[in-house]
Structure 1
Amino acid sequence: MGRIRILDDDTISKIAAGEVVERPASVVKELIENSIDAGSKNIYVEIQDGGISYIKITDDGSGIDYDDVEIAFLRHATSKISSDEDLFNIRTLGFRGEALASICAVSKVELITRTKENDLGVFIRVEGGEIIEKKECGAPLGTTIIVRDLFYNTPARLKFLKSPGREGTIITEIIQNLAFSNSSISFKYKNGDKLIFATKGDDNLKNTMLSIYGKQVNDNLLEVNYDDGSVSINGYIGNNALAKNSRNYQSLFVNNRYVKNKTINAAIENAFRTFTTGDKFPMYVLHINVEPSIIDVNVHPTKAEIKFQNEQEMYKIVFDSIKKAFSTTKTIPNIIFEPNVVSKSPLTANQERIDFAINEKRDYNIPDDSSKEYKYINSDFSFNEESSLDDLKKEKEEIIITGSNVENKLPRLAVVGQIHFMYIIAEGEEDMFIIDQHAAHERVLYEKYLSEFSDAKIQSQTLLTPIIVELSSTEKNIVVENLDNFAKIGFGIEDFGGNTVSIRAVPVILGNPNYKELIFDIITEIQEVSGNFYKSINKIIYTMACKSAIKAGDRLTIAEMNKLIEDLRRCSNPFACPHGRPAIIKMSYNELERKFRRIL
Structure 2
Amino acid sequence: MTVEFALKIFFTLDEHLYENLVRVSCENDNSFIANKKYIDGDMQRVKKLDRDVSKCISTYGISSLENIILELVENAVDAECDAVTVRLNLNKNTLIVSDNGRGMTSQELDDLGSGCTSKIRNLNDIGECKTYGFRGQSLANIAKISHLSIVSHPRGEVSHRIEFGGNSETHDLEDELINPKNCNFYYLQPHHTHIIVKDFFYNLPVRQLIVYDKFLLSLKKGLAHLELGKLKVFINQELKLEVSHTLPPINEIFGLKCRFKKVTTSMGKIELTAYISEDTKQGFQFMLYNNRPIDLKISIKNICLIQFKGPVVINELFQDSRKMIWFSKYNDDMIYMLEKIFSNNLVSPKKASPKKVTLKQSSILSPKRLFPSKRLTRSTSSSNHDLKLEELPKSMNRRDLKEMQVINQINKAFILVRSKGQLFMIDQHAMDERIRIENLFRSFFEDMQMITVSIGLTEDQSELFCRFKEYLNQFLRYQDNSIIEIPAILQILPKNKLMDGIMAYIEDIINSVKFRLTGNWFQDINNLPTFIIDSLNSKACRTSVMFGDKLTKKEMMQMIADLSRCHLPFQCAHGRPSIIPLLDL
Pairwise same-fold verdict (TM > 0.5): no
The TM-score bracket by the shorter chain reads: 0.3 to 0.5
Q: TM-score, normalised by structure 2?
A: 0.44
Q: TM-score, normalised by structure 1?
A: 0.43
